[in-house]
Structure 1
Amino acid sequence: MSTDSVQCAADKIARVCAAPCGLVALWQDASDVVAGVVPYFWTPCWFTVDPLSLLMTSHYHFGMDEFPNEWLAAEYYEDDVQSVPDVMRSATGISTLHDATDGDPSQSPRWRRNRTLGGDQELIVRLRTRSGETWGALSLYRDEGMPRFTDTEKSFLREISPILAGGARRALLYGQAEEPEYSDSPGLLVLDHNWDVESATPGVDRWMADLPGGKWDRGELPAAVIALAGRVLRSAEDRDHVGEVALSRVLSRSGAWLVLHGACLASTDHQRIAVIVEPAHPSRLYPLLMSAYGLTEREREVTAMVLQGASTSQISAALSVSAYTVQKHLESIFDKTGVRSRRDLVGKVFFHHYEPRFRDNEKRTLADRPLRGGPWPADRRRRTGQ
């Protein structure tokens, strides 16, 4: 495939990821584009993860409505040469089963499972934004007789990985705006070519009213939205920034930081601008660990790093404490959570707080409802929707 064709495919991915759409629609459109550059067997498997814990929150594998229980357990408990969690925690963020086994995957339990569906080769690539947040992974397969994944194909997947990661994040935000789950769920605003409000999700009013420099109750857009829309239009006219999403961080009237995402829509003859507003808060993992296990703030930080695959020395350096102190924290964490090892800790947090989300998202996919990110809500009373 020519260099121009590969670049054209990357541009298509950028446009697909910029438009506000549901996660399943994003994966379907992206799969078609990827197939033109990296041929694969049957269908890809797309995953989303909570960026703070790197634990899986959803999968989309056309033809596999439910991920087998034993396969999901293997991702977190099995000792094998390759797994989705391991690739997401790795230095390179990409791995093939044949490379990991020096060309002989026959001893890998993962390879034997893949063979039951006709797959022989497997490539996993991490979806991480340029700012360093991991939002998912993509698995591609090839059946027996197909050529090995090439360096050119791997290079293409690395190039589009940050774009897909950003697209996954916005698709999850769009789903939350369309069907809010929390009182602070994001809001979506679409402006027409005259910069008039074409549509807005129910939750957007509170965010618009909280943004400074406007009179939303009188139909006047906040200054931050106007500035962001202007940046979006300028980017749309620049061929070097196809599908680029503008970001802005704004201090609200109430004193909370808000993040605005802006993208240009090209589905009609006239340009339209989509703006997503969300609170600038971290993952919901931290309060979950505090409430479910009674972990201290420092134990919570250590646990989050263990979930991400950090070693004792890495935790020690990041938190500016001794390795001995890290070990004492781990002993307390193991005692409070009822586990004996790091692997058991990761497995327990996943199966108690993320597997319910993972399974609920399978049901949502079948019902054509928005998919969710993050752990399963610890307090069901806080939820405003199912």
Structure 2
Amino acid sequence: MQCAADKVARLCAAPRGLVSLWRDASDVVAGVVPYYWTPCWFTLDPVSMLMTSHYHFGMDEFPGEWLAAEYYEDDVQSVPDVMRSAEGISTLHEAAHGDPSGSPRWRRNRTLGGDQELIARLRTRSGETWGALSLYRDEGMPMFSETEKSFVQEIAPVLAGGARRALLYGQAEEPEYADSPGLLVLDENWNIESATPGVDRWMVDLPGGDWDRGELPAAVITLAGRVLRCVEDRDRLGDVAISRVLSRSGAWLVLHGACLTSTGRRRIAVIVEPAHPSRLYPLLMSAYGLTEREKEVTSMVLQGASTSQISVELHVSAQTVQQHLKSIFDKTGVHSRRDLVGKVFFHHYEPRFRDNEKRTAAGRPVRGDPWHTQSS
């Protein structure tokens, strides 16, 4: 299992397309946790923990009624519930206490030949949830064992980091926003082999260096050096170096560095991104006119926080939380927390989810943000 975990780490370290990552990771997982047909991979927005994409080989379009069930149906197991759970992993049979026959989810899975289902949260060690993994088994296969579940939990943080970098890579390769990430590929002598469109704006904003004269900023050279030192340590081949740098304009930038070895030559990939807050916040403000505090409460509701948890986190009374919730419900036109989650998903995330299905089919980069509109 350690060999498989190492393979997953190396797959996730280098910038690559998301679908390519999911395909290769599926093959590695199969060697340790056998499954029926194919896994279903999801990406999630870590601020809201709402789904932004899925990849299920052979299912180009996720059925609409199945998607609605994830957010509105009462059942023993769902992707959103597992994402918000303490354990972050669940099997359908265990959730149903050994008899899933009364579960609508189980009956849907049976239409595709599945019997068992394991759902795992892909959350980084720093606490950001970037994805989910569903594995299936047909009738007659053994139950998912504790050893198999432990393996999935072991690789989950690595897969989460890989999904995050794949989304960054996609934004760098095909920018969607003015502040989209940039990607540099350097050889081991710090010569630039390639650069994505727009990366020059980040290089100019980083302190030190002279981009016009081909001199790299000090932060990029330092990060590249850390990457090569990791390569020399055979136990750290899958490691990713990260640094946070204050730019000349006063904004914080995050640099991700990893070694590329697919060609046999050592090359360093550096992704630069702005350390900006989620695009969910301006979306909520523009669409519903929520106050800053109401946006914070809404974000926590989307992540499954209880009234008491919100009260503690925001240092306000439970009564104040309830007052904020009433105002949020009035502004968004819903009557419950579940309806609020469903409305935010189907108005601002399902369009992204569906667009990503088209992107996947066309071989284009997958997006991880809420749906971008002129108003947001």
- 1:249 and 2:241 matched: no
Using the alignment, how far apart are the partners of 1:14 and 1:233 within structure 2?
16
- Cα deviation code 1:314-344 (max 9, x no counterpart): 0000000000000000000000000000000
Q: Distance in 1 between matches of 2:72 and 2:291?
A: 26
Once the two structures are TM-superposed, the CA of residue 377 in structure 1 deviates from its matched residue by 0.9
Match of 1:172 among 167, 182, 194: 167
- Rounded to whole Å, the distance in 1 between the matches of 2:17 and 2:318 is 44
> 2:88 & 2:233 partners in 1: Cα distance?
30
2:16 is aligned with 1:15 = no
Cα distance between partner residues in 1 of 2:5 and 2:177: 34
Give the distance between the partners of 1:117 and 1:331, measured in 2 at CA: 42
- Residue 240 of structure 1 and its aligned partner are, at CA, apart by 2.2
Aligned position for 1:297: 292
SS in 2 for 1:321: coil
Aligned to 1:227: 222
1:60 is aligned to 2:22 = no
| Cα deviations by residue, 1:156-180 (Å, 9 ceiling, x for unpaired) | 1011000000000000000000000
SS state of the match for residue 37, structure 1?
coil
Partner residue, 1:341: 336
Spell out the pairing of 1:263-342 with structure 2 (5 A cutoff): 263-342=258-337
Q: Which moved more, 1:315-324 or 1:265-274?
A: 265-274
Equivalent position amino acid for 1:301 in 2: E
Deviation at 1:270, TM superposition (A): 1.6
Query: Per-residue CA shift, 1:138-158, capped at 9, x if unaligned?
Result: 000000000000111111101
Q: Could you tell me how far apart the structure 1 residues matched to 2:277 and 2:164 are? A: 13
Equivalent in 85, 91, 94 of residue 96 of structure 1: 91
CA shift for structure 1 position 193: 2.6
- What one-letter code is carried by the residue in structure 2 that aligns with 1:242? L
- CA offsets per residue over residues 49-97 of structure 1, 9 Å max, x none? 0000000000000000000000000000000010000000000000000
Q: Per-residue deviation at 1:263?
A: 0.1
Mapped to 2, the partners of 1:130 and 1:203 lie a distance apart of 30
What residue number does 2:177 align with? 182
Name the structure 1 match of 2:131: 136
1:275, CA displacement in angstroms? 0.2
- 1:211 alignment partner AA: L
Deviation of residue 237 (structure 1)? 1.3
Query: Is structure 2 residue 205 aligned with structure 1 residue 210?
Result: yes
Distance 1:147 1:318 in 2: 42
Q: Secondary structure at the match of 1:349?
A: helix
Task: Report SS of the residue matched to 2:31.
Answer: helix
Match of 1:199, SS?
Answer: strand
Partner SS state of residue 98, structure 1: helix
Alignment partner, residue 345 of structure 2: 350
Aligned partners of 1:283, 1:253: CA distance in 2, in Å?
A: 22
Equivalent residue, structure 2, for 1:151: 146
State the distance in 2 between where 1:200 and 1:66 align: 33
Q: Aligned with 1:57: secondary structure?
A: strand
Map of 1:125 onto structure 2: 120
Q: How high is the TM-score relative to the length of structure 2?
A: 0.99
TM-score (norm 1): 0.97
Aligned partner of 1:337: which letter?
T
Separation (CA, whole Å) in 2 of partners of 1:365 and 1:288: 25
Alpha-carbon distance between aligned partners in 2 of 1:317 and 1:194, rounded to the nearest angstrom? 51
2:186 equivalent among 160, 182, 191: 191
Structure 2: which 5+ runs fail to align?
Answer: none
Work out the CA distance in 2 between the residues paired with 1:241 and 1:103: 41
Displacement of 1:241: 1.5
1:106-125 residue pairs with structure 2 within 5 A? 106-125=101-120
Write the distance in 1 (CA, Å) between the matches of 2:198 and 2:70: 37
Partner of 1:368: 363
Distance in 2 between residues matched to 1:183 and 1:176, nearest whole Å: 11
- 1:379 CA displacement: 1.7
CA separation in 2, counterparts of 1:68 and 1:151?
Answer: 31
Larger mean Cα displacement after TM superposition, 186-195 or 89-98: 186-195
Instruction: Give RMSD over aligned pairs.
Output: 0.8
**Structure 1 stretches of 4+ moved >2 Å:** none
Counterpart-to-counterpart distance in 1, 2:373 and 2:30: 39
Give the CA deviation at 1:194: 2.2
- How far is the alpha carbon of 1:269 from its aligned partner? 2.3
